[in-house]
A and B are shown apart, each in its own frame.
Chain A
């Protein structure tokens, strides 16, 4: 197991190196420059040249890349051209928000997706099955930002039940030692702040979790349909085990293996979905940060931010691989 983990972690090095070349080249192929993005109508040829010179953008690209590798090697990811804060600071400051949102979305997707898929399989061909099939198709096809706007319009603007923006009430003075607001509220024993954070999480988590929910439900349904016709399930039933035991120990546990793979992949995809969700809900995470960086041609943020996200993606998948062994002891990670 340890060898497997170390090998996977070592694989990060070539992955990140390859990714850094791709990102480095890609953002420089985009037309325009940070100077024009920064100064807009006020940019002049002199100021553009001045900024290109300061950020060494007038050097040959291989020289720029070498300089970049050199600084990254010293764990210095540079300074954002537009905000002038270090990329590491911004990432550390915003990442908890994105992780909190992605986790909440995943919890929502799993909590609803697995029961829905399970029930649809158990009632295969029934009205419920058809409704869940159509529902999951809608979940997959509806754009996140559109769903977000609709949810906000209904639950925040019209009904006034839930907030429409941010992670907490703007007048809140709750302490945030870790920047994971839910965790902070629990640690500091602040019940009001906990409830406030959950209220702010509900709509963005539902919007972001809609696609994983649909995917998880469909995969669960297919897996349960497959597993429940296996010989060992038939044997368990023949032995007279109660349906609950058969379903939970024999059907669901075996069906969860493909579901866990999908959950791992979807967790990575949630990070990209967060770009849209965070924009719609003014959620101060890395999604809005990277979106703004693209518009601002903020090279250091794009280079550093994408590398950080890639590391997270690889680590999440590693955790998923390890979780296989826990879910199904027949599989040994090697």
Chain B
């Protein structure tokens, strides 16, 4: 019997010993020379033009720099690798004066030849890299390639025309048509300047195309040797485990205070929070709104707010009658109790949107914007005026399994909107679908009558909000409004910044008069950090330099 007891106790004793020893050993030790940042996933590759996801762009932004940059925490353009720039020839030519004495991380010189090599690389991407899923930002901003594969946009659609070096430290970018949004877009990490030597040496664009037409990269530039001019450089990357950046000793600007930044992929939101609580990570992005109170109440961690740079809206598809009638769309606007939704479900982190553009963006109209305060009686009257029999039956779509910055709890928003619409002469039938790809597929293919959606800006320019959504026929909205399309194109082409702002204000008002959707919120996403992490400035467009971060007491 004694032996049997001993036999049973062995594993329990082993576990107890393990736990005791674990308590004696140190848990993850936060070092003042390292900072661990929890991310939702691994980067795809560390090559800016080939990615569009935030988790790739975060480390890329530390390794590479563009010609221009944004002031930390704002959308104001500031010099970076270019010290100044000027438009000429009616906005068709942009000349940049380049910073001298800058070295790439492989010790080669940054010159005008490097700038042109990068622009020409992007413009000459081979067929498999021309896909929007790969080169989303080049497609969005510049729109065409020198040698397009079948079905892809060519030089006739391209905004970019050529790059001419003017000596070693000046360069002119020639465009095919005037555009002002282009300069704002150059601040994106996607257009960071890479070392031409490294691009060639590590075969950035080399690969094979398999029988399915899929590109297999064979070079190591984007995975092991991403070489830019930024304050940090890649030390190691173990996919699924961690990506380590180390301070660039040759950096031309202010030296980073923290020597090592580690990006640790933790896909589960609750796991990220717990890792912050245990001190295994020092910060993470996209905090679940439900966790904000926990972080704030901990005493050891803090919440930082990212300035509102998004819009949540109730979309209308005018292919569904009678929403092609402006009176019905106005009735819908008066029937949505937007103030209650924003007050009720955004925990003080949202402001009621009166137009599509967030207040930070150029072109935000401060006066003359039609307002649609919640007014059920007026909504019913407008429906009757439109000749609609009350109640008007509508299909209202909302997504499940998702929390977006502009829509933390879609179901609650939808139910509250549904209740206010039922009071305003509408009869609502709800439809729910998992966010992606089901819900987005339904909405974007024009199969949803009314739906909740939103947008977070890619860069600080109104074109990225208004032109993207309302600049051309879009099945999601199902309307054709040539005068609005023309106005938006005119605004995008205007190089005089004051005139451009005026045109966008006009367009913003026109959108709110025409009502292709009803905007209802601009919200502030949250980041969480240990209290002693200082210097992190949340950016509206998520371009946050870790080189400014340091540890306090």
Chain A residues near B (Cβ < 8 Å) = 31-51, 53-56, 67, 70-71, 76, 78-79, 81-86, 90, 93-94, 97, 108, 111-112, 115-116, 118-119, 122, 149, 152-153, 155-157, 159-171, 176, 195, 198-199, 202, 243-244, 247, 279-282, 284-285, 288-289, 291-292, 295, 297
Contacts and interface: CB of A to CB of B under 8 A. Distances in A.
Contacts of A53: 151
Contacts of A157: 274, 277-278
B274 A152 contact: yes
A282 B275 contact: yes
10 contacts: A37-B437, A39-B136, A44-B444, A55-B213, A119-B4, A161-B27, A199-B18, A282-B268, A282-B275, A291-B267
B165 interface: no
Given A111-B14, A171-B29, A94 B240 contact: yes
B11 A54 contact: no
Interface string B9-44: 011101000110111010111010010100001101
Contacts of B131: 47, 50-51, 54
A149 B266 CA distance: 14
B280 interface: yes
B270 interface: yes
A79 B210 contact: yes
Contacts of B453: 41
A161 B152 CA distance: 56
Which of B3, B8, B42, B437 has the most CB atoms of chain A within a 10 A radius of its CB? B437
A67 B211 CA distance: 8
Contact of B441 (A32, A195, A244): A32
A301 to B, nearest CB: 13
Contacts of B14: 111
Contact of B278 (A116, A160, A281): A160
Contacts of B266: 165, 282
Given A79-B214, A83-B239, 15 more contacts: A36-B440, A70-B211, A71-B212, A79-B216, A81-B133, A84-B45, A93-B239, A111-B10, A116-B8, A170-B242, A170-B264, A170-B280, A247-B4, A281-B271, A289-B240
A153 B274 contact: yes
A282 B267 contact: yes
A280 B25 CA distance: 23
B240 A93 contact: yes
Contacts of B4: 118-119, 122, 243-244, 247
B25 A171 contact: no
A150 to B, nearest CB: 11
B267 A279 contact: yes
B239 A90 contact: yes
B29 A47 contact: no
A54 B271 contact: no
Contacts of A279: 267-268, 271
A42 B268 CA distance: 23
Contacts of A244: 3-4
B208 to A, nearest CB: 10
A281 B271 CA distance: 7
B166 to A, nearest CB: 35
Contacts of A281: 271
B280 A164 contact: yes
Interface string B260-304: 001011111011001101101100000000000000000000000
Contacts of A162: 19, 22, 27
Given A152-B274, A157-B277, A284 B241 contact: yes
B294 to A, nearest CB: 11
B420 to A, nearest CB: 25
Which 7 A-B residue pairings sit nearest by Cβ, starting from the closest? A32-B437, A284-B240, A36-B437, A111-B11, A47-B132, A282-B266, A115-B8
A35 to B, nearest CB: 6
B290 to A, nearest CB: 14
B475 interface: yes
Contacts of B210: 71, 76, 78-79
Contacts of A115: 7-8, 10-11
A202 B133 contact: no
B436 interface: yes
B34 A112 contact: no
B44 A243 contact: no
B438 A32 contact: yes
A280 B7 CA distance: 33
A168 B242 CA distance: 10
B249 interface: no
B91 interface: no
B52 A42 contact: yes
A71 B433 CA distance: 34
Contact of B22 (A39, A119, A202, A282): A202
Contacts of B322: none
A39 B271 contact: no
B151 A85 contact: no
Contact of A282 (B11, B271, B455): B271
Nearest to B29: A171
A46 B476 CA distance: 13
Given A39-B136, A93-B240, A171-B34, A161 B11 contact: no
Contacts of B212: 55-56, 67, 71, 78
Contacts of B132: 39, 44, 46-47, 50-51
Interface string B411-429: 0000000000000000000
A128 to B, nearest CB: 10
